[in-house]
């Protein structure tokens, strides 16, 4: 098994303490030489300024290749594209382009007056600028709003045909889920790279709630295993084993890149990466 290439997702910190935690996370994971690290954009555009700051700071001080998430929610087209241009001016030309979700509790996505109607329109507009590498979301367990699995794949193809370069998937818990999805994408004529999104399970309660919200299927065996591990206080051990096995099953099936949802907690991601043969390569620039 050859070691995969990895990338890491972070969220922008909202407090000083959270900033320290993000920096610790970056310092721990940077030596694993990620293809890129990405910074999320809060639901409803709520962390717009924090995302901008975190992206610019990471780009300047970490020496890593940084990608900024961007959504269409709650902004006009001009405002959204101005944010993208701002990323480019800060030296960040990689974007994870998403339709996004409105803030929690405010119902389904609504097009902002003067805003993009959907992710395809956003991707077309970003691609027309000719200066961005564009990644998009994909849903092996099907997005909750998709009419059916095939409609979801057709929509992914439309996003890639609109000018996106690569897809990053929502997390899933069984390798089969991704492999079936990859086959269906190939059958639909998708030939761009689809990178599995991996969620190391730091906390089962939080991970299972997150899964239910985004339509990720929770297998019964996993639920049972965590119930036992929590009772025996062995959650960490199980989480490392489950995540490493998922990743190595994917690698055995030809997957060469993995995208980790770190939740700004580096240890489990680092341990899984080490187990997969991804070991330290570079040191951070400009560390005080």
The residues that are catalytic are 9
The residue from 98, 211, 225, 251 that contacts ligand FAD (CB under 6 A) is: 98
Q: Does residue 53 belong to the site contacting ligand FAD (CB under 6 A)?
A: no
Q: Which is nearer to ligand FAD, 101 or 249 (CB)?
A: 101
E strand or H helix at 126, and its extent?
A: helix 119-129
Provide the CA 168 distance to its chain's centre, in angstroms: 6
The residue from 151, 186, 237, 282 that contacts ligand FAD (CB under 6 A) is: 151
Tell me the C-alpha to C-alpha distance, in Å, between residue 10 and each of 38, 42, 68, 82, 265. 6, 11, 10, 22, 9
Site for ligand FAD in 59-88 (CB under 6 A): 69, 71
Task: Establish how many alpha carbons lie within 13 A of residue 77's alpha carbon, considering only the half-sphere containing its beta carbon.
Answer: 12
Q: How many whole angstroms separate alpha carbon 95 and alpha carbon 53? A: 15
Antiparallel, parallel or unpaired: β 193-198 and 5-10: unpaired
Q: How many whole angstroms separate alpha carbon 107 and alpha carbon 182? A: 31
Site for ligand FAD in 236-255 (CB under 6 A): none
**Candidates 150-158, 223-231, 235-243, 269-277; binding stretch for ligand FAD (CB under 6 A):** 150-158
Q: Does residue 146 belong to the site contacting ligand FAD (CB under 6 A)?
A: yes
Find all residues with CB under 8 Å of 40, minimum gap 6, and list them: 9, 10, 11, 12, 47, 51, 69
Is the distance from CB of 66 to CB of 29 less than 8 angstroms?
Answer: no
Strand, coil or helix: what is 110? Answer: coil
**Candidates 138-146, 174-182, 235-243, 249-257; binding stretch for ligand FAD (CB under 6 A):** 138-146
Site for ligand FAD in 155-214 (CB under 6 A): 155, 168, 170, 197
Min CB(233)–ligand FAD separation in Å = 32
The residue from 139, 172, 181, 226 that contacts ligand FAD (CB under 6 A) is: 139
- Comparing CA positions, the residue from 201, 144, 134, 193 lying closest to residue 173 is 201
Q: Which is nearer to ligand FAD, 145 or 202 (CB)?
A: 145
Per CB under 6 A, residues contacting ligand FAD are 40-41, 43, 69, 71, 96, 98-101, 118-119, 137, 139, 143, 145-146, 151-152, 155, 168, 170, 197
């Amino acid at each position: 098994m050859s070691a995969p290439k990895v990338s890491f997702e972070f969220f922008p910190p909202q407090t000083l303490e959270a900033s320290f935690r993000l920096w610790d996370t970056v310092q721990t994971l940077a030596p694993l030489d990620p293809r890129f690290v990405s910074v999320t954009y809060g639901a409803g555009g709520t962390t717009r300024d924090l995302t901008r700051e975190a992206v610019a700071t990471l780009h300047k001080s970490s020496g890593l290749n940084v990608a900024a998430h961007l959504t269409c929610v709650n902004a006009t087209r001009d405002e959204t594209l101005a944010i993208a241009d701002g990323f480019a001016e800060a030296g960040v030309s990689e974007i994870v382009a998403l339709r996004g979700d409105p803030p929690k509790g405010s119902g389904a996505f609504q097009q902002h007056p003067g805003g993009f109607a959907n992710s395809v329109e956003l991707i077309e507009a970003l691609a027309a600028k000719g200066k961005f590498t564009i990644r998009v979301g994909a849903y092996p367990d099907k997005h909750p709003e998709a009419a059916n699995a095939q409609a979801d794949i057709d929509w992914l193809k439309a996003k890639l045909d609109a000018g996106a370069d690569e897809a990053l998937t929502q997390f899933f818990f069984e390798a089969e889920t991704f492999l079936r999805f990859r086959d269906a994408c190939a059958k639909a004529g998708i030939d761009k790279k689809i990178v599995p999104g991996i969620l190391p399970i730091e906390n089962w309660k939080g991970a299972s709630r997150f899964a239910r919200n985004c339509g990720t299927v929770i297998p019964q065996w996993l639920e049972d295993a965590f119930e036992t591990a929590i009772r025996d206080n062995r959650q960490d051990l199980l989480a490392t084993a489950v995540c490493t096995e998922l990743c190595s099953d994917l690698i055995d099936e030809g997957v060469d890149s993995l995208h980790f949802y770190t939740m700004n907690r580096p240890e489990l991601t680092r341990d899984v990466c080490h187990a997969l043969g991804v070991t330290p390569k570079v040191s951070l620039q400009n560390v005080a």
